[in-house]
């Protein structure tokens, strides 16, 4: 009798475990399906948002069938199409609204590529007088672009592996990008096994470039 009762309890536990596993798997599949649908709906658009000074737009990004290449995008003002920009052939990682030129208005920012050497973006600045976005040729497709929001500086930071690294700092004055300073670092190993580093710095002072060169052994 005890053996029979024990066998019954083991059978009940096994059936319960199998039922619970099946139920959990079904629920996970449903949740995953819902999330996938959500991504499909919202991946290619930015809902109406304030880009600055009370100006609001919504954005529709047109992707190709692979959803890896940006063919262009549309800008809407309260549902009315005000600008249609075509820009084919560029892959992208993400897009966002960022005030790249620190004028108080967010710009359209498309992260095109990112690697060990730095990142490249395509940027369309907003011009309030024209109520239009225009491609920024100075910042777009430039490897190593970075933004210092605290000091309102634009930086280009480029790395070519271990041997070369470049920093270039600029600042917006109105619509003009003014160079402030740059530094170029070189590193190498000589025939004796010494590890060398050479820094060439240039800084704009009183409209003239001041150059400093410093080299030393690091090991």
- pLDDT tens readout for residues 98-116: 999 999 999 999 988 888 8
What digits encode the pLDDT tens for the residues 147-187? 999 999 999 999 888 899 999 999 999 999 999 999 999 99
How many Cα atoms within 13 Å fall on the side-chain side of residue 69?
Answer: 9
Residue 191 lies in a domain: yes
Same domain, 59 and 138: yes
Question: CB-based burial of residue 153 (10 Å sphere; 0-12 exposed, 13-18 middle, 19+ buried)?
Answer: middle
Range of the domain at 206: 144-219
DSSP string across 144-168? TEEEETTTTEEEEEEEETTTEEEEE
Same domain, 215 and 149: yes
Same domain, 123 and 150: no
Same domain, 135 and 156: no
Residue 20 lies in a domain: no
Nearest Cα neighbor of 145 from 159, 158, 156, 136 is 156
What digits encode the pLDDT tens for the residues 36-92? 333 333 468 899 999 999 999 999 998 888 777 888 999 999 999 999 998 765 666
Classified as helix, coil or strand, 58 is: strand
CB of 111 within 8 A of CB of 84? Answer: no
DSSP letter assigned to residue 92: -
Same domain, 207 and 120: no
């Amino acid at each position: 009798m005890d053996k029979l009762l024990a066998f019954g309890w083991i059978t009940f536990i096994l059936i319960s475990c199998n039922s619970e596993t099946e139920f959990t798997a079904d629920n996970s599949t449903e949740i995953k399906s819902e999330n996938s649908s959500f991504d499909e709906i919202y991946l290619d658009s930015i809902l109406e948002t304030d880009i600055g000074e009370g100006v609001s737009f919504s954005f529709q990004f047109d992707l190709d069938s692979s959803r890896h290449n940006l063919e262009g995008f549309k800008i809407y003002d309260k549902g009315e199409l005000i600008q249609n920009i075509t820009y084919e052939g560029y892959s992208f990682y993400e897009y966002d609204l960022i005030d790249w030129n620190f004028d108080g208005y967010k710009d359209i920012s498309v992260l095109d590529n990112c690697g060990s050497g730095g990142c490249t973006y395509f940027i369309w600045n907003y011009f309030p007088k024209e109520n239009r976005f225009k491609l920024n040729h100075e910042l777009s497709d430039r490897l190593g672009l970075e933004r210092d929001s605290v000091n309102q500086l634009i930086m280009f930071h480029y790395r070519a592996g271990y041997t070369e690294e470049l920093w270039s700092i600029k600042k917006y004055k109105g619509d003009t990008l003014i160079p402030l300073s740059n530094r170029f670092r070189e590193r190498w190993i000589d025939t004796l096994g010494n590890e060398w580093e050479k820094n060439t710095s240039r800084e704009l002072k009183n409209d003239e470039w001041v150059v400093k060169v410093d080299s030393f052994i690091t090991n």
